[in-house]
Structure 1
Amino acid sequence: MDQPIADPLSARAIPRSPRAEATRQRILDAALVEFAANGLAGARVDEIAARAGANKRMLYAYFGSKEDLWLTVLEAAYGRKREEERSLAVDGLPPDEAMTRLVRFNFRYTARHPEFVALLNQENVHRAAYLARSAEVRALYSPMVDTLRRVLERGAVAGVFRAGVDPVQAYVTLVGIGHFYVANLHTLSTIFGTDLAAEPALEAREAHCVEVVLGWLRP
Structure 2
Amino acid sequence: MGDTSRKPANTRKAHWKQNPDGVKEDILRVATEEFAAHGLSGGRIDEIARKTEASKRMIYYYFGDKDGLYQAVLERVYSTLRENEDALKVGDLDPVAALSRLVEATFEAHANTPLFIRLVMIENIHNAAYLRRSEIIPGLNRSIIDKLDDVCQRGKEAGLFRANADPLELHWLISSSSFYNVSNKETFSTSFGDTLYTAQGQARLKQRVVDMILGLVVIGYEPPLVVSE
TM beyond 0.5: yes
Report the residue type matching 1:207 in the other structure: Q
Runs of at least 5 residues in structure 1 that lack an aligned partner in the other structure: 1-15
Letter in 1 for 2:44: R
Quickly say closer, same or farther: Cα 1:195–1:44, change in 2 above 3 A.
farther
Cα distance in 2 between the residues matched to 1:56 and 1:79? 25
Within-5 A mapping of 1:1-219? 19-219=19-219
Secondary structure of the corresponding residue to residue 135 of structure 1: coil
Counterpart amino acid of residue 157 in structure 1: E
Instruction: Give the deviation of 1:197 after TM superposition.
Output: 2.5
Aligned AA for 2:111? A
Amino acid corresponding to residue 43 of structure 2 in structure 1: A
- Deviation for aligned residue 1:17: 5.3
TM-score, scaled to structure 2: 0.86
SS in 2 for 1:59: helix
Conservation of the 8 A alpha-carbon contact between 1:28 and 1:73: yes
CA drift at 1:61: 0.6
- Return structure 1 stretches of 4+ with deviation > 3 angstroms: none
Larger Rg: 2
State the TM-score, normalizing by the size of structure 1.
0.89
**Hey, what's the Cα distance between the residues in 1 that align with 2:18 and 2:201?**
44
Q: 2-side partners of 1:209 and 1:45: how far apart?
A: 40
Identity rate, percent: 38
Q: Is the 8 A contact 1:106 1:175 kept in 2?
A: yes
**Root-mean-square deviation over aligned CA pairs:** 1.3
User: 1:121 Cα shift?
Assistant: 0.4
Letter in 1 for 2:139: A
Counterpart secondary structure, 2:165 = coil
Number of matched residues?
204
Unaligned 5+ segments in structure 2 are 1-15, 220-229
In the alignment, the residues of structure 2 paired with residue 160 and residue 174 of structure 1 have an alpha-carbon distance, to the nearest angstrom, of 19
Name whichever of 71-80 and 163-172 sits farther off.
163-172
For 1:31-76, what per-residue CA distance to the aligned partner results, in whole angstroms no more than 9, with x for missing partners? 0110111111110110111111211111001000111111101101
Q: Distance in 2 between matches of 1:138 and 1:183?
A: 22
